Amino acid sequence: MNTAPESLQSVFDRTFAGIRQAREAFTPHLTLHEVGTITSVSTGIARVSGLPSAGFEELLEFPGGVFGIAFNVDRDEIGVVLLGEYSHLHAGDEVERTGRVMDVAVGDELLGRVIDPLGRPLDGNGPVTTTKRLPIERPCAPIMDRSPVTVPLQTGLMVIDALIPIGRGQRELILGDRQTGKTAIAIDTILNQRGKNVICVYCAIGQRASAVAKAIANLREKGAMDYTVVVVAEGNDAPGLAYITPYAATSIAEHFMEAGRDVLIVYDNLTQHAQAYREISLLLRRPPGREAFPGDIFYIHSRLLERATHLRAELGSGSLTALPIIETEAQNISAYIPTNLISITDGQIYLSPSLFELGVLPAVDVGKSVSRVGGKAQRAAYRAVAGDLKLAYAQFEELETFARFGARLDEDTRKIIEHGRRIRACLKQPEFAPVSVPAQITVLLALTANLFDAVRLDQMTEANHAVHEAVEKIPAEVRARFETADKLSDEDRKTVIEAARQALARFQPKPEAKPEPKPEAESEATSKPDGGSKPGASTDANAIPKPGTEPEPKPEAKPKPKPESESRPKAESEAKSKPDGGSKTDAPADVKPKPKPGTEPKPKPEAKEKP
């Protein structure tokens, strides 16, 4: 009984001895922790004092879990852009440094998710769990790490793939007035990447919540959310969130690009981004410039779009293709922000409201649109027909203006206009209906072979669908060559054109005998039973003369046309024999006067058509 308490006492002694040694070995360390104070709060902006070591673009934490980015680092205070709801912040609240810049979660876990620029989920599917984060502001790839654009990015829109091609790694601007179909082109491009191993990032900046929800619903309905990440800053969010949204979305896209994958990113739209940055700059008392934009408005877009590129094979051959969207006002593409982005990007797709009102969808103005890089990446089958097609379409647009004024057109001009109308009808395309590469090339070859010229305009839609269905009859090896860089041989071209001709055979006008001559002959026989009157004579010439008058002989009422040399001597002899000028007064009132000497009477076919 005495051994148990002695063993328990020894356990306590060993335990206390260990605690004593740990206490003696511990040395407290003091860590500096800066805490600032809010001096003022305004719309999306807070001014903070007491953080002397805070750096530019450092992330600061405010009460309530709100973060902000240090934008203006002055000697006495810091101008902070708030990234969230700030209604609960007041002057005197504490602000803490985080020691890091703004970053965002990246990884395959984001595919199919809808998040905000801070990485918070907006789709109600739980938190986003990733193992890697990247800063939203990153330097672009050096020149030596890039390679030329050689692979096309098919949009599924024939007018773009044929006339304004886009390559993987290119920056192509989409601009136009509001409600002209800019977002529709971007969504169709995303839908067409299904099965092509391309990751898509849709970045909505300052859009209405209903418009964003509609775009997401369309992507989800078509199955495009499986390879798409949606980053959203709504219109009622703080301007700071709208400002950082495109940078966060680009960092997410760069993660996939550095992994060797092809990525497409859509900025919808950068007009709202520029306006958010202008609002922030004016609230921070930065000096305004043209249109009240700050002086570095060009730089915020250039450093964003410069991150889109195509990497070398040693770095994985990944690519990042950017489709920024800009909204113009009253078709003014020479405004400040549009000209900035036109000079930054590698081409632009301009959407015309005039074409939109005419029902030409997509309303792409080919004359004002250009692709400075994608032509090198365009497939050889497209290049074989795109040049002639673009020239014919440009000629049509020039001549169409004159045709509207009712000007007389020669046969060649009329053929150019009719051919251009067929081209425009074939380039029309409904929304959410991308066209495959073989179908596009088949239609383009049929256009260059003038197979559509005999089809009526009201049947062009059906004829276009018939050509699309005829693609399945083309041999598989020929269709496989459409997807490669090999040029089409003459045999392949003949095979494709023959398939299109068979598909359009039922739309060709049937040869019919003209029934006009027979009814005219019958009408002449019925109106002239005695056969005395000649073509061109008035029907009143056979009227019964009034009593007391002598009817003029029929040959004199309608003389046969003779050459001028013969008619003049006859007229002189008649003048000698009839010095009183003939019996004009004795002729019936309805009989037309004789033709003047030396003139040839013109027949009037409309007179003989009347009963």
- Domain boundaries defined on the chain: 35-101, 104-377, 380-507
Q: Is the confidence at residue 611, as pLDDT, over 60?
A: no
The pLDDT, as a whole number, for residue 609 is 45
Region of poorest pLDDT, from 347-361, 510-524, 530-544: 530-544
- Mean residue pLDDT of the chain comes to 85
Question: Which parts of 505-552 fold into alpha helices (H)?
Answer: 517-527
Looking at residue 512, its pLDDT comes to: 59
- Note the pLDDT tens digit of each residue in 421-479: 999 999 999 999 999 999 999 999 999 999 999 999 999 999 999 999 999 989 988 88
Q: Which H or E run includes 249?
A: helix 239-258
Query: Which span out of 33-42, 269-278, 393-402 was modeled with the highest average pLDDT?
Result: 269-278
The pair of structure tokens assigned to 374 is 């994608």
d(CA 56, CA 71): 6
**Does residue 277 register a pLDDT over 90?**
yes
Q: Express each pLDDT in 448-459 by its tens digit.
A: 999 999 999 999
Share of the chain above pLDDT 70, in %: 82
Q: How do residues 157-171 score in pLDDT, each as one tens digit?
A: 999 999 999 999 999
Q: What is the average per-residue pLDDT within 278-296? A: 95
Predicted confidence at residue 410, as pLDDT, reads: 86
Instruction: Give the residue, 278 or 10, on which the prediction is more confident.
Output: 278
Residue 419 reports pLDDT greater than 70: yes
How much is the pLDDT for 333?
A: 94
| 8 Å CB contact between 322 and 153 | no
- Asked whether residue 535 carries a pLDDT value surpassing 70, the answer given is no
Q: Give me the pLDDT at residue 406, please.
A: 67
Q: What is the mean pLDDT of residues 525-546?
A: 44
The pLDDT assigned to 422 comes to: 94
Residue 587 has pLDDT above 50, yes or no: no
Mean pLDDT for the stretch of residues 64-85: 93
- Judged by average pLDDT, the poorest of 257-271, 284-298, 332-346, 377-391 is 377-391
CATH C-level class of 104-377: alpha beta
Is the pLDDT score of 194 beyond 60? yes
The mean pLDDT of 514-532, rounded to a whole number, is 48
Reported as a pLDDT band with limits 50, 70 and 90, residue 596 is low
Long-range contacts of 137-146 (CB under 8 A, 24+ apart): 137/57, 137/101, 137/102, 137/247, 138/251, 138/254, 138/307, 140/303, 140/306, 140/307, 140/309, 141/307, 141/309, 141/311, 145/309, 145/311, 145/312, 145/315, 146/309, 146/310, 146/311, 146/312
Q: pLDDT tens digits for 196-248?
A: 999 999 999 999 999 999 999 999 999 999 999 999 999 999 999 999 999 99
Largest CA distance in the chain: 177
Known catalytic residues are 372
Local confidence band at 6 (pLDDT 50, 70, 90 cut-offs): low
- 35-101 fold: Elongation Factor Tu (Ef-tu); domain 3 (2.40.30)
Which residues, 6 or more positions from 40, have their beta carbon under 8 angstroms from its beta carbon? Answer: 46, 47, 91
Residue 46, H or E segment: strand 45-49
The arithmetic mean of pLDDT across residues 386-402, rounded, is 86
Q: What is the mean pLDDT of residues 401-410?
A: 76
- With a cut of 60, say whether residue 570 has pLDDT above it: no
As its CATH architecture, domain 380-507 has Up-down Bundle (1.20)
Q: Enter the pTM of the model.
A: 0.79
Residue with tokens 């002449």: 524
The predicted pLDDT at position 597 comes to 53
